[in-house]
């Protein structure tokens, strides 16, 4: 097992990895740029090293990070998610320097990161994919021709895209002409590649993803699925495990497809195979070659520590579980509490947290890196914590989610917490029958009324009295 591991990330996922290292007897090394000088991951790691004033540059410099890992005596690097986690060059440099990369090989990252190559690999393995182009589009004229054959609506996607970026739905030839240069520009800026491809748009699907684990000894298993249909502009908001919308037969089928996909590309470590599901069929969408933000709910229903398994697999150990060992129990939901104002078109709300109280009690988990007095910087993702709830049945999980969201106190910034309470009250959501159109089809849920707690009202009154008295 490793003796020392560098975490090439920040925030809550860095804290999560630090905890896994502590349980495994591995020394953790954090990195930080100037805005993160007082961040929680810096405080919690065994060591922390400054990597520059620029908020982002240090986190995106693979050679600097690898050199630092070597200089500090690390034998492994965990990339977390985002930043360099799906950067094949980063994985390759780690290997060249004799450091274990906690993830799949550079070759697999490159192959799955190229969405057209991934589609080709899945087709060869017998995993169904959405109808679309076999390779990248040459130009707009080819895009228009393919779209005419497929039939509108179509999805125009960046080949190297991810995180909801570089994706546009086009309902007509006019929209495709308008969106084509925009996606090219966005893809070039965000991913350094102008390659795009076209797929038939699967209208109102359920977004179902399957967690897989695979080792270098040929073993691969799945840890069941997560339902990520509650999303806004391709960004997930609430995730659920397992999906309340799948039968046991469909659950087994989609899990088997995910394992087949992993084995087809020689996958190693933790990964996620994402599907679009309709009444007509199940279609491969993409494979994420890293730990997912929502890995927490899979841990809650299976009892498997995914981050710990990632590290053990990277160290060369065999999977500790066979597929028959993996069972799930109950339902878990994860709420991404973002520093955004849903009442103002989800405008970011960065700033200082004046008060933070984490919810607790049975079946409640919080993964975060915030604290009272912490200032959320404007340079990174707006997610400030992940609230996870678990219960034995669907209705109890929803009620526990409501209670936990109400328990939480996060003041000084606007968040999505109250908006999620509105979603949990919605009869369509509570029925367990929803798809990716839920959020855009329910704009009325954003028009909630602000509810002040009694102690908050007392604070407002006291402040007003003090101001009037000139105190």
Per-residue pLDDT of 33-54, as tens digits, reads 999 999 999 999 999 999 999 9
Check residue 426 and report its DSSP letter: -
Mean pLDDT of the chain, nearest integer: 94
User: 28 near 22, Cβ under 8 Å?
Assistant: yes
Claim to verify: residue 301 and residue 388 sit in the same structural domain:
yes
CATH code for the domain in which residue 158 is found: 3.30.1490.20
Claim to verify: residue 171 and residue 271 sit in the same structural domain:
no
Mean pLDDT for 166-188 is 94
Claim to verify: residue 426 and residue 377 sit in the same structural domain:
yes
Any idea which residue has 């498997």 for tokens?
304
Q: Facing residues of 277 across strands?
A: 206, 282
CATH code for the domain in which residue 324 is found: 3.30.470.20
Claim to verify: residue 347 and residue 401 sit in the same structural domain:
yes
Whether residue 238 is contained in a domain is answered as: yes
pLDDT of residue 347: 96
Claim to verify: residue 48 and residue 92 sit in the same structural domain:
yes
Q: Which residues are catalytic?
A: 290
> Using omega within 30 degrees of 0 as the cis cutoff, is the peptide bond preceding 216 cis?
no
**pLDDT tens per residue, range 404-432:** 999 999 999 999 999 999 999 999 999 99
Whether residue 274 is contained in a domain is answered as: yes
Whether residue 219 is contained in a domain is answered as: yes
Claim to verify: residue 185 and residue 315 sit in the same structural domain:
no
What count of residues does the chain have?
Answer: 471
| Phi/psi-derived region of residue 218, left when phi > 0, alpha when psi is between -120 and 50, beta in every other case | left
Range 452-457 contact pairs with CB under 8 angstroms and sequence separation of 24 or more: 453/409, 456/411
Claim to verify: residue 215 and residue 236 sit in the same structural domain:
yes
Claim to verify: residue 306 and residue 268 sit in the same structural domain:
yes
Claim to verify: residue 360 and residue 252 sit in the same structural domain:
yes
Name 461's Cβ contacts closer than 8 Å, sequence gap at least 6: none
Query: Of 179, 200, 221, which residue is a domain's last?
Result: 200
User: 339 near 415, Cβ under 8 Å?
Assistant: yes
pLDDT of residue 191: 84
Claim to verify: residue 82 and residue 187 sit in the same structural domain:
no
| Residue 275 to residue 263: CA distance in whole angstroms | 17
| Residue 109 to residue 115: CA distance in whole angstroms | 11
Can you spell out the DSSP letters for 441-468?
H-GGGG-PPP---HHHHHHHHHHHHHHH
- Rounded to two decimals, what is the model's pTM? 0.91
Whether residue 68 is contained in a domain is answered as: yes
Claim to verify: residue 170 and residue 212 sit in the same structural domain:
no
Claim to verify: residue 144 and residue 89 sit in the same structural domain:
no
Whether residue 461 is contained in a domain is answered as: no
Whether residue 116 is contained in a domain is answered as: no
**pLDDT tens per residue, range 251-294:** 999 999 999 999 999 999 999 999 999 998 999 999 999 999 99
Note down the domain range covering 156: 131-200
Number of domains in the chain: 3
Q: pLDDT grade, residue 193 (50/70/90)?
A: confident
Whether residue 113 is contained in a domain is answered as: no
Whether residue 59 is contained in a domain is answered as: yes
């Amino acid at each position: 097992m490793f003796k020392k591991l560098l975490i090439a990330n920040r925030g809550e996922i860095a804290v999560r990895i630090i905890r896994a290292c502590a349980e495994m007897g591995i020394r953790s090394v954090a990195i930080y740029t100037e805005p993160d000088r007082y961040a929680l991951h810096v405080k919690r790691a065994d060591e922390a090293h400054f990597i520059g004033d620029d908020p982002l540059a240090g986190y995106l410099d693979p050679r600097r990070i690898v050199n630092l890992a070597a200089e500090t005596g690390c034998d492994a690097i965990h990339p977390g998610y985002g930043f360099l986690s799906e950067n094949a060059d980063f994985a390759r440099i780690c290997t060249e320097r004799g450091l274990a990369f906690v993830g799949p090989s550079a070759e697999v990252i490159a192959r799955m990161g190229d969405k057209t190559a991934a589609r080709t690999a899945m087709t060869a393995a017998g995993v169904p994919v959405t109808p679309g182009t076999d390779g990248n589009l040459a130009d707009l004229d080819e895009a228009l021709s393919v779209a005419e054959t497929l039939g509108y609506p179509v999805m125009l996607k960046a080949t190297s895209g991810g995180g909801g970026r570089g994706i546009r739905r086009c309902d007509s030839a006019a929209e495709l002409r308008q969106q084509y240069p925009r996606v090219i520009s966005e893809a070039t800026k965000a991913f350094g590649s102008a390659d795009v491809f076209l797929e038939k748009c699967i209208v109102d699907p359920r977004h179902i993803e399957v967690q897989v684990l695979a080792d270098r000894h040929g073993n691969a298993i799945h840890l069941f699925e997560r339902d990520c249909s509650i999303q806004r502009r391709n960004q997930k908001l609430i995730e659920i495990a397992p999906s309340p919308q799948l039968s046991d037969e469909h659950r087994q089928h989609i899990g088997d497809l995910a394992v087949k996909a992993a084995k087809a590309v020689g996958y190693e470590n933790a990964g996620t195979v994402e599907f679009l599901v309709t009444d007509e069929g199940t279609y491969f969408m993409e494979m994420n070659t890293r730990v997912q933000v929502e890995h927490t709910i899979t841990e809650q229903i299976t009892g498997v520590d995914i981050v710990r398994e990632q590290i053990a697999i990277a160290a060369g150990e065999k999977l500790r579980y066979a597929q028959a060992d993996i069972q799930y129990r109950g339902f878990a939901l994860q709420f991404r509490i973002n520093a955004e104002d849903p009442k103002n078109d989800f405008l970011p709300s960065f700033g200082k947290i004046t008060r933070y109280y984490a919810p607790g009690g049975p079946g409640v988990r919080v993964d975060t890196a915030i604290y009272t007095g912490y200032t959320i910087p404007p340079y990174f993702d707006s997610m400030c914590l992940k609230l996870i709830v678990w219960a034995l049945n669907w209705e109890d999980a929803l009620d526990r989610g409501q209670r936990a969201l109400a328990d939480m106190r996060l003041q000084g910034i606007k968040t999505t917490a109250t908006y999620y309470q509105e979603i949990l009250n919605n009869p369509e959501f509570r029925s367990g029958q929803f798809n990716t159109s839920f959020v855009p089809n329910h704009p009325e849920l954003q028009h909630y009324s602000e509810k002040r707690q009694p102690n908050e009202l007392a604070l407002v009154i006291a402040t007003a009295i003090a101001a009037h008295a000139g105190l």
